[in-house]
Structure 1
Amino acid sequence: MIKINKTQPAPGYIRYVGTSREEDKCQSETQLACEYFESGDYNPNNKYGYKFKSSIYGNKIWKEQLLKDQFDKCCFCESKVAHIDAGDVEHYRPKGESKQTDSDPANKPGYYWLAYDWDNLLIACQRCNRRKKKSLFPLLNPDERASSTNKNIAVERPVFINPCIEDPKNFIKFNLEYPVGIDDNGRGEKTLDELNLVNDETLNEIRRNHLEIVNAFIDSIKINIESLESLNDETLNDASRLQSIKGRLSNHLKILLNYLEDSSSYAGMIRSNLEGEIQELRQRYRILDL
């Protein structure tokens, strides 16, 4: 996971423009949801009640913007969504129901008033969203959970890291391809465990291969830098040979630095393991000043 810088405000598409209902779709649909769930007739066991409209919160314009803000990556595992599936518009606070643990009964209703709230939406791969997170939303103190009669979510202390408002590097580090929680409250560890970001061997193998590629670039760059550092005057005067070495080294270093960018898959893992070493190589190259 890495920090996500979400576009603000929300893309302003959702309107019934040119009709007698020229109002914000999210606002009007949120009102309908609140009227249903807060009515005295609400029955959590009624499966024919209010249906959340994915055509609104998952509309094309919003989904495209979320993908752009997240560089087409899952907000949790950092896999490129298109490499796995079409991706889901994920509700950080689940809309229909919420659960403290997988084995607990569901709290109904969920955070229905946030179903169409831009700030509550992320993009997640289906693996993380449908198979793992689903309606899970544990709190450090479950008694603080906001309900249909108390919507003050500010008092809640969620367990899951929210990458839009928190920097995951303060909660999670990597030992090679394996993420580890590091915060005192255990939020990093719990996020990793509940979303199965540690023991999924398919995911670990992908991260391992990614790490091996980056390490191969590091080894190549080290060899080339050491070659340049040990050049004698005769080679330094051979402009074509020197330019060839510099060009190859500069290109490899540029590729390596790209692995630290937000747009790179598993950037959090690469930064945690190798950012210091990569920046040191960059500095060694600059000192050469050739």
Structure 2
Amino acid sequence: MRKIRIPEDKTPPIDWLTDAKAVSTALAGAANEAERNAIIEANQRLWRDARIRDWLLGLFHDKCWYSEAQEAVSAYHVDHYRPKGQVTDVGRVGAEPGYWWLAFEWQNYRICGQLINVKKNDVFPLVSGHRASPDIPGSLKLEAPALLDPTTDDARLVSFEMDEDGCRAVPSVGVDEEDRARVITTIDVIGLNRLDRLNRKRADVWEACREKLVSYEAASSEPPALKRLQRALAISDLKKRVSYESELSSVAEACIRKVGSEVICAQVFG
């Protein structure tokens, strides 16, 4: 997972924002839950609209915001990070009202592969405390979601490791117990390790990086000029693999930091 950069001076297309604001105003004025649900149902096209979908995709180079894959997790959905309809919790029976007032707020949208979005569904557990309410200003900032948010520094809590089934998401080294629990919950809720094809794709990236790390070290036995060239080429390739636009760049970063030497890490990330 990698933190999504949303520049402060960037906003979705104005015509889409105008349409969304009009629906949000109608939603806020609805007399009851049934009326709110009817408004949301009638305007689903807005979060599926190419104007907002393409704008969101452009922020992360056509990658899923949760898995960082471009196609291994199937078609893209515009996911509501906080579910709009109802909310369920991990291991609990029953549902609570969803975050209906955020249904047309683009800041609540995340680009998500279809297979991950279907798995996530309306599950949105909290670490503790009460859910936010539209009647309590600032309550969203006080909420403590268990589900990691890829638009925040939460993304740094996830790392990757190789095993016999491929390359799997794991908690980063050094995270505290609460954050470790959040990572494990997120991996389970969105199924970050359940797709074999995605695990294999990550493994391919890991192995490609490992080979470059090996070639860097092996160059020590070459004549000086060739040694410098081979090492420069290896570092150049590794830098490309960890760049923001590259698919599964967080996997490449995890491999380099865990397998590479301090000297290599300094050159790639310095």
TM over 0.5: yes
Counterparts of 2:37 and 2:148, CA distance in 1:
31
Alignment correspondent of 1:163? 150
Counterparts of 2:69 and 2:193, CA distance in 1:
14
Alignment correspondent of 2:124? 137
1:133: how far off? 0.8
Using the aligned pairs only, state the percent identity: 22
Considering fraction of residues, name the structure with more strand: 2
The answer to whether structure 1 residue 73 and structure 2 residue 63 are counterparts is: yes
Matches within 5 A, 1:204-223: 204-223=199-218
Alignment correspondent of 2:140? 153
Q: Report the RMSD for the aligned CA atoms in angstroms.
A: 2.9
1:249: how far off? 4.4
Counterparts of 2:122 and 2:42, CA distance in 1:
14
1:93: how far off? 0.8
Structure 2's unaligned 5+ residue stretches are none
Considering fraction of residues, name the structure with more helix: 2
Q: Is the 8 A contact 1:2 1:163 kept in 2?
A: yes
Counterparts of 1:76 and 1:99, CA distance in 2:
20
SS in 2 for 1:77: coil
- 168, 182, 190: which one aligns with 1:187: 182
Paired residue total: 256
Q: Is the 8 A contact 1:102 1:136 kept in 2?
A: no
Alignment correspondent of 1:269? 251
1:74: how far off? 1.0
Counterparts of 2:48 and 2:267, CA distance in 1:
47
Alignment correspondent of 1:25? 19
**TM-score where L is the length of structure 1:** 0.76
The answer to whether structure 1 residue 97 and structure 2 residue 71 are counterparts is: no
CA-to-aligned-CA distance 1:116-159 (integer Å, 9 cap, x gap): 212111111111112x1111111112x51124544622221101
**TM-score where L is the length of structure 2:** 0.81
Structure 1's unaligned 5+ residue stretches are 16-22, 237-241, 286-290
**Matched residue type, 1:178:** R
1:245: how far off? 6.3
Alignment correspondent of 1:51? 41
Counterparts of 1:213 and 1:100, CA distance in 2:
39
Are the structure 2 counterparts of residues 148 and 165 from structure 1 closer, same or farther at C-alpha, using a change threshold of 3 Å? same
